[in-house]
Copies of this chain bind each other. A is one copy, B any other.
């Protein structure tokens, strides 16, 4: 059976030392999150993930969700009680507005503990994850009445939320949706249509479910300009806040999926369901994007989280499993064989995973801090810079962290040899669960297109220029630091590849957009490697400073070596990405469709 230990020490290092979160105490909510409070939250969240959620992970996978003939859906044993505890513990609303019962703490704290929960039980984490997406959309675009009606109960965990976008014939291309909204004349609408792949669409965990649904109001323009967002509660809410009649929405079936069996993925049938407009008519996509950006960051964390728990178990196995002898001489003469951690190829695999995990975690903290600034700062320039960062890096995080997170789950499974393929060891579940993160919330190919087609050229490339400038400045400022040289050399070279790639896109993709499309995935991964390399350089600098200051904690030395591994073994990939991008679209587009 797999195990899990929340990486509290690493998060603390990032919050306290690398990103010095105390510097942000001018932002609302931040001064409440003192060092002691942060420690307490991380420690309690770690315990909750380890003791309550992790034990339900494999049983939830085995049992899965069941739809009954009457449309009810039963979640795996223990999920309902765990969600009650989760809600009562205040975890759902940790970073949510205090006026609706949230604790108003930094999103950075919430995202950090989110990693713990996902590592422990990804299927479970989706129940509150989707809820928070719905809270975010309502909070930005809902009316005061809508906010008051729905948000508080969602934050206590009594109600949950969902996102309803996809239909059988359209996922990526939402302009094609057919679900209809007909005005009832009383301000409400009658919603009819079928939505698929609705995570947590129906469940027995909460007493109500707040569905956010995109639909087309009768007579609306075709395409994405005719999409509106509606709130459609499963159970209608009376004026006094009590639950009323059942609405016309039901679960038609649940999907049989590769993984995340503990989360119910539903076909939802809306049959003259009563819904209320959220935000403006025909501006539904904008409102939806609020949910989607939050959700994309959350999905990126899923990639990291599965990679982390897979790593922990692979490392433990490698220290325990005796097989073969070290190439450089017997290491455990008292045992029939050496533990496989002595083998360089096993270490290479483990370090590949770990060097990603720690950079990805830094990237998540850094980006969520920017999200906090974007949402909470009173300084317009700070907000704009943070917004630029978020816009540029959200697709990179979503695409890269989930692609590599999945690959790492596979690599960790490989460390187990044949046992990795056997269900009871739990490693194959991490692989199956991690797989979905590459697909939902915009498949990773769409993230790459979003990056090269929209985020990169936006505002004349302002966000990318700011990022390149920051990394260059860091390299320059620290150029004389001998201890940093082995890190800054490779980073600067890879930044050069990224800048060349960016230049190539500017020169070749305007006239021929296919050149952008054909290079988009390579560009996204090139970007991801550079930004993770930058995270490593910053972490190493801080680790060096702490060591120089007399801190003898072993993890600091480990940081230096793991970071070096990243530079030596992972950054070489940037030149391959550049070469592939520069190959352009000609060959890719040459075959007629029927030759495939």
Contacts and interface: CB of A to CB of B under 8 A. Distances in A.
Interface of A: 166, 169-173, 175-176, 196-197, 255-259, 315, 318-319, 322-324, 327-328, 336-337, 339, 341-351, 354, 406, 410, 413-414, 417-418, 420-424, 428, 431-432, 435-436, 438-440, 443-445, 448-449, 512-514, 516-518, 520-521, 554, 557-558, 561-562, 564-565, 568-569, 572-573, 575-576, 579-580, 583, 585, 587-591, 593-596
A166 B416 CA distance: 14
B513 A327 contact: yes
Contact of A344 (B342, B439, B518, B569): B518
Contacts of A562: 591
A520 to B, nearest CB: 6
24 contacts: A166-B418, A170-B323, A172-B323, A172-B324, A255-B422, A255-B423, A256-B423, A257-B421, A258-B421, A258-B428, A344-B514, A344-B518, A345-B445, A348-B521, A348-B588, A417-B443, A420-B439, A428-B435, A554-B595, A558-B591, A561-B595, A568-B587, A572-B579, A575-B575
Contacts of A169: 322
Given A516-B327, A568-B583, A421 B445 contact: no
Contacts of A424: 256
Given A258-B423, A431-B258, A596-B318, A517 B345 contact: yes
A589 B436 CA distance: 34
A337 B418 contact: no
> Which 4 pairs from chain A and chain B are nearest by CB?
A344-B517, A572-B579, A327-B513, A344-B518
B593 A565 contact: no
B173 A345 contact: no
Contacts of A323: 170-173, 176
Contacts of A327: 513-514, 516-517
Contact of A436 (B351, B354, B421): B421
Nearest to A566: B587
A169 B341 CA distance: 16
A336 B173 CA distance: 10
A596 B319 contact: yes
A590 B172 CA distance: 46
A589 B439 contact: no
A449 B325 CA distance: 13
Given A258-B428, A421-B258, A593 B319 contact: yes
Among A324, A345, A413, A512, chain B packs the most CB atoms within 10 A around the CB of A345
A318 to B, nearest CB: 7
A67 B1 CA distance: 23
B422 A438 contact: no
Given A257-B421, A258-B423, A572-B579, 8 more contacts: A255-B422, A256-B424, A343-B517, A344-B588, A345-B517, A414-B445, A432-B432, A561-B590
Nearest to A423: B256
A564 to B, nearest CB: 5
A575 B497 CA distance: 14
A428 B449 CA distance: 25
A434 B563 CA distance: 33
Nearest to A223: B336
Given A344-B517, A569-B580, A593-B319, A172 B428 contact: no
A336 to B, nearest CB: 6
B197 A418 contact: yes
A347 B588 contact: yes
A590 B216 CA distance: 60
A243 to B, nearest CB: 32
Given A436-B421, A443-B414, A443-B417, A344 B585 contact: yes
Contacts of A421: 257-259, 435-436, 439
A584 to B, nearest CB: 8
